[in-house]
Structure 1
Amino acid sequence: MNPIVDFFESEDGLTVVEYVIGAALLAVILSVVFVSVRQGLTDTLENTLDYVKIE
């Protein structure tokens, strides 16, 4: 049989595609979370560094 048809009919090909889609979705979700909390984290870290700073 044709190797291309075998690839599309096999379950392994679908599993790989599912893992790629899942990894891409996870990367997008993590990017959105970090962008949305970036300012709060920056402010907190600046406040902490100002508190710890000894002059």
Structure 2
Amino acid sequence: MQTPLPGKKNNVLSEVSEMNLQTIKTSVMKFVEDENGLTVVEYAIAGGLVAATLITAFTNLGAAVKVKINALITALGGTTA
């Protein structure tokens, strides 16, 4: 790092800005190289797919059960819902 000249605020700001950019670059590179975050994303996607599958299965099951119940009600002479 250069020693700022007296009365030269621009040099100090430039050095601080350069340090911040280097810190940001280092942080981004660590994030990109870290594979733990990828594992979390994979689990989130898998969980979403499992939830969607269960919702679809139970929705279809509910519709099938409703058809059977309405058939029973009709067979007994009642009014279906």
Shorter chain as denominator, the TM-score bin is: 0.5 to 0.7
| Per-residue deviation, 1:5 | 2.7
TM-aligned CA deviation for residue 11 of structure 1 = 1.1
Residues 1-16 of structure 1 aligned to structure 2 (within 5 Å): 2-16=26-40
TM-score, normalisation: structure 2: 0.45
List per-residue Cα deviations over 1:9-46 (Å, max 9, x = no partner): 21101100001001111110101101111123343xx8
Structure 2, unpaired ranges of 5+: 1-24, 74-81
Q: Percent identity?
A: 33
Q: Distance in 2 between matches of 1:6 and 1:41?
A: 53
Q: Distance in 1 between matches of 2:36 and 2:48?
A: 19
Residue 21, structure 1, aligned to residue 45, structure 2: yes
Aligned length: 45
**Which structure carries more helix by proportion?**
1
Q: TM-score, normalised by structure 1?
A: 0.62
Structure 1 partner of 2:21: none
Greater CA drift, 4-13 or 18-27: 4-13
| Unaligned stretches of 5+ residues in structure 1 | 48-55
How many Å separate the matches in 2 of 1:16 and 1:35?
A: 28
